[in-house]
Structure 1
Amino acid sequence: MSEATRPDMKVVLVTPEIPGNTGSVGRSCVALDLELILIRPYGFEITEKSVRRAGLDYWQHVRLAEYDDWAAFIAHRAPRRDQIFLFEDDGTGGTVYDPIYPSDAYLVFGRETKGLQPEILTGMEDRTFRLPMRSPHIRSLNLANAVTAVAYQAMRGRFD
């Protein structure tokens, strides 16, 4: 894939809590050549061995950006509304299969225990999507698994 046709999609983790999930998401980002953006505060130190362990020896290849909070991220990146795709268990904008993802999309996920903060979700109901689950016995998926499933769907049709 040439630089000119490479997708510039990004995965954004807002206040991630579990280092192993962040490491695994980083590994998926390397596999798909996506930038990983982390929004503080974290529930761990980014230098922890558990982050690197989950990312294996791929962590050094993660295209990583960090921001102190959501406001700093928005101010610096200034994403267009149509670039933002928020993911929640109860997303009201439809499922991950509904949108057409632009190549410069921001795929945004919240913390493992509470999801995205209300101030991020307010007014973005049409930009909030869910990953469908068929079983009534499951409330949610592991964050790393959800990010990987969504990222592959968003990248569909972009592989050589």
Structure 2
Amino acid sequence: TGCTLHLVEPLGFSMDDRLLRRAGLDYHEYAEVRRHASWQALQGTEAPPPERMFALTTRGTRVVHDVAFAEGDWLVFGSETRGLDPALRETFAPTQRLRLPMREGQRSLNLSNAVAVTVFEAWRQLGFR
């Protein structure tokens, strides 16, 4: 998709090549991956425009498919087990808190599937360029 993956520490997994391969992430040599010591470090280094950052959360007020994505948008996902930290989630305007549609009573998608669905929706909207 051409996305850059930004990882914010502390990570809940090892970046050791052997362990990544075992987890099925052996395509990482095709991706640009940047690690940041903290959320503040990411914001200081990358300076993403706040109005084009979207937090993915089960508590989102908008469905992903209702957003008109633009080139350069940032998608922010939390950890696999806990999601976004509530304090961080609250820094996003309600219109920038997105969710994936789920059937009533169903669990949310796992992190990798949620990322894939969301990134491909944004990429589709941009004409796969």
TM-score under structure 1 length normalisation:
0.73
Does residue 1:154 correspond to 2:122, yes or no?
A: yes
Indicate the residue corresponding to 1:33 in structure 2. 2
Return 32-41 or 43-52, whichever deviates more: 43-52
Shift of 1:48: 4.9
User: Counterpart of 2:107?
Assistant: 139
**Residue matched to 1:16:** none
**CA distance in 1 between partners of 2:19 and 2:104 (Å):** 31
- Correspondence 1:122-133 to 2 at 5 A: 122-124=90-92, 125-133=94-102
Of 19, 28, 41 in structure 2, the residue corresponding to residue 59 of structure 1 is 28
Task: Return the offset for 1:80.
Answer: 1.1
Q: What is the CA distance between 1:152 and its match in structure 2?
A: 0.7
Q: Residues 60 and 123 from structure 1, CA distance in 2 versus in 1: closer, same or farther, beyond 3 angstroms? A: closer
* Residues matched between the structures, number: 126
- Give the 3-state SS of the residue equivalent to 1:86 in structure 2: strand
| Aligned mates of 1:121, 1:135 — CA distance in 2 | 23
Letter in 2 for 1:102: A
Q: Secondary structure at the match of 1:100?
A: coil
RMSD value, Cα:
1.5
Provide the C-alpha distance between the structure 2 equivalents of 1:123 and 1:60, rounded to a whole number of angstroms.
33
Residue identity over aligned pairs, in percent, reads 33
Q: Offset at 1:135?
A: 4.4
- What is the deviation of 1:149? 0.3
Q: Which runs of 5+ in 1 are unaligned?
A: 1-31
What is the aligned counterpart of 1:88 among 43, 57, 61?
A: 57
Task: List structure 1 segments (4+ residues) > 3 angstroms apart after TM superposition.
Answer: none
Partner deviation per Cα, 1:60-79 (whole Å, 9 max, x = no partner): 12101110110111111111
Q: Which amino acid in 2 is paired with 1:153?
A: E
> Any idea what the Cα deviations from partners look like across 1:109-144, whole Å, max 9, x if unmatched?
0001111112211241221100001242x2211100
Q: Tell me how far apart the structure 2 counterparts of residues 97 and 108 of structure 1 sit (CA, whole Å).
A: 16
What 5-or-longer segments of structure 2 have no aligned partner?
A: none
Hey, what does 1:113 align to over in structure 2? 81
